[in-house]
């Protein structure tokens, strides 16, 4: 296993971290609470025995069961070999006392007296202002550090670069965690956020290195581009090594669901290193990114000049979900995101074609014409040709 500097902390972290959000389940559902405990524990211990020394979980993963199973995996002497990270579920907070309530329960679930790396989960501008600052959570978390229940305090993040910088500068954090991969260089914190946090001495933990699995099986033309450059390296290897190539990346978390994935990722991590990719290989990854982007159906840049919509439709988000469905050849996933995570009033189907947004769009997109197509594909399950 290769090890990397963990920011300004005096500790070396394995290049690969074990993410416990997608553990194997007995019913085949990725997020199910029905974890195959024997298999999951075997996978984690296999990784720990081969040098993986960072495991990441959270309160809501697998409907609350992930922390329990991780706690079991860390018994029999493994707790001393591995740094444990979990997260305080900010979105479930209703009052300031919830910090203590959740932390106490997590220590019980994990069968430990101390959490090495404790994160405030999924911060964005709204939760930063209306939960963290409102409930004075930073003071409570620092108190938990002082009494030994937490060793290091950090946050995970989902918002834009401006919000990321505000949060980074808002507290003397010990580390942070961001979504980052070769397609997200300008999305969320992005490359600029990675470098900004690292410049402050913060270790940066990487989540979603494969963009929720979208980069595992790219379209045929992109696979052929990768294979032509190196037939021995899989799309997963390319994605992981692109991250490990960057010195600002501390550890890459992989949510592994099978033992074969564990073996493959460990093998890749053993060959990892900073500045290990050649200029030609970096140019290949840039070409792959452009090939993906060329599959974009709607030329929306996400600038949000079209907002706010008088009818409360979240225009850029609808376009983003639709575009990603075609870009990654995953309309099933796009439909699930549209129907599960967009409230009905915010969906494309709520557009009344008032055209006010079109007057503000710098890309001159015919938004009112696209919205019924988006809803037909994502909301009604029709294919693209039928929607045209």
CATH number at residue 135: 3.20.20.100
Shared-domain flag, residues 209 and 340: no
Long-range Cβ pairs for the range 336-341 (8 Å, 24+): 338/378, 338/379, 339/378, 339/379
Assess if residue 298 is contained within a domain.
no
Task: Report how far apart, in Å, the C-alpha atoms of 284 and of each of 141, 224, 244, 344, 347 are.
Answer: 44, 12, 16, 40, 36
Shared-domain flag, residues 143 and 53: yes
Q: What local confidence, expressed as pLDDT, does residue 24 receive?
A: 92
Shared-domain flag, residues 69 and 137: yes
- Pairing between β-strand 175-179 and β-strand 204-207 as defined by DSSP bridges: parallel
Determine phi and psi for 343, rounding to 5 degrees: -65, 155
Q: What local confidence, expressed as pLDDT, does residue 384 receive?
A: 61
Q: What local confidence, expressed as pLDDT, does residue 297 receive?
A: 87
Assess if residue 383 is contained within a domain.
yes
Question: How many residues appear in the chain?
Answer: 388
Assess if residue 129 is contained within a domain.
yes
Which residue do the tokens 């209306």 mark?
Answer: 130
Assess if residue 375 is contained within a domain.
yes
18 class by beta-carbon count within 10 Å (0-12 exposed, 13-18 middle, 19+ buried): buried
Shared-domain flag, residues 215 and 265: yes
CB neighbour list of residue 211: distance below 8 Å, 6 or more residues apart: 181, 183, 184, 328
Contact by Cβ (8 Å): 330, 324: yes
Shared-domain flag, residues 174 and 51: yes
Number of structural domains (the chain) is: 2
Q: Distance between CA 383 and CA 386 in Å, rounded?
A: 6
Shared-domain flag, residues 167 and 49: yes
Assess if residue 117 is contained within a domain.
yes
Which residues constitute the domain of residue 368? 315-387
Assess if residue 303 is contained within a domain.
no
Q: Distance between CA 287 and CA 281 in Å, rounded?
A: 10
Q: Distance between CA 19 and CA 216 in Å, rounded?
A: 16
- Pairing between β-strand 12-14 and β-strand 3-5 as defined by DSSP bridges: antiparallel
Sign of the dihedral defined by the CA atoms of residues 29, 30, 33, 35, in that order: positive
Assess if residue 379 is contained within a domain.
yes
Shared-domain flag, residues 266 and 323: no
Shared-domain flag, residues 256 and 373: no
Residue of 78, 62, 50 whose CA lies nearest to 262: 50
Shared-domain flag, residues 10 and 118: yes
Using DSSP's 3-state secondary structure scheme, residue 301 falls into: coil
Contact by Cβ (8 Å): 135, 93: yes
Q: Distance between CA 169 and CA 173 in Å, rounded?
A: 9
Q: 98-109 and 137-146 are packed helices; what angle lies between their axes, rounded to 10 degrees?
A: 40
And the tokens for 125? 């501008």
Q: Which residues of the chain have pLDDT under 70?
A: 383-388
Q: What local confidence, expressed as pLDDT, does residue 388 receive?
A: 47
Shared-domain flag, residues 271 and 370: no
Q: What local confidence, expressed as pLDDT, does residue 96 receive?
A: 86
Q: Under the phi-then-psi rule, with left for phi > 0, alpha for psi from -120 to 50, and beta for the rest, what region is 339?
A: alpha
Shared-domain flag, residues 70 and 155: yes
Assess if residue 267 is contained within a domain.
yes
Q: Distance between CA 380 and CA 63 in Å, rounded?
A: 28
Shared-domain flag, residues 219 and 74: yes
Q: What local confidence, expressed as pLDDT, does residue 335 receive?
A: 94
């Amino acid at each position: 296993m290769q090890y990397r500097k963990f920011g300004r902390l005096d500790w070396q972290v394995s290049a690969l971290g074990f993410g416990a959000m997608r553990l194997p389940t007995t019913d085949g559902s990725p997020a199910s609470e029905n974890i195959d405990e024997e298999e999951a524990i075997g996978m984690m211990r296999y990784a720990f025995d081969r040098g993986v020394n960072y495991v990441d979980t959270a309160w809501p993963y697998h409907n609350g069961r992930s922390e329990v199973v991780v706690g079991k995996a860390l018994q029999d002497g493994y707790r001393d070999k591995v740094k444990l990270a979990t997260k305080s579920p900010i979105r479930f907070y209703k009052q300031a006392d919830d910090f203590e309530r959740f932390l106490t329960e997590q220590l019980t679930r994990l069968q430990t007296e101390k959490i090495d790396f404790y994160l405030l989960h999924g911060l964005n501008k709204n939760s930063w202002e209306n939960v963290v600052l409102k409930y004075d959570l930073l003071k409570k978390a620092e108190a938990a550090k002082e009494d030994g229940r937490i060793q290091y305090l950090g946050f995970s993040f989902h918002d834009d670069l401006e919000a990321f910088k505000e949060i980074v500068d808002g507290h003397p954090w010990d580390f942070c965690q961001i979504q980052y991969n070769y397609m997200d260089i300008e999305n969320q914190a992005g490359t600029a956020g990675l470098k900004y946090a690292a410049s402050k001495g913060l270790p940066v933990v990487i989540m979603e290195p494969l963009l929720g699995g979208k980069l595992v099986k790219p379209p045929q033309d992109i696979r052929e581009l990768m294979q032509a450059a190196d037939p021995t390296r899989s799309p997963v290897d390319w994605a992981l090594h692109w991250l490990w190539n960057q010195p600002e990346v501390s550890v890459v978390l992989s949510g592994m669901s099978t033992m074969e994935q564990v073996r493959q990722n460990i093998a890749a991590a053993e060959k990892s290193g900073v500045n290990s990719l050649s200029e030609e290989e970096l140019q290949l990854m840039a070409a792959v990114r452009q090939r993906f982007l060329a599959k974009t159906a709607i030329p929306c840049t996400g600038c949000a000049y079209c907002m706010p919509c008088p009818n409360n439709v979240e225009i850029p988000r609808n376009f983003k979900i639709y575009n990603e469905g075609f870009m990654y050849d995953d309309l099933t996933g796009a439909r699930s995101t549209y129907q599960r995570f967009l409230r009905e009033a915010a969906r494309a189907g709520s557009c009344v074609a008032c055209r006010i947004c079109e007057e503000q769009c710098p890309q001159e997109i015919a938004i009112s014409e696209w919205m019924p197509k988006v809803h037909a594909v994502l909301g009604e399950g029709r294919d693209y040709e039928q929607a045209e």
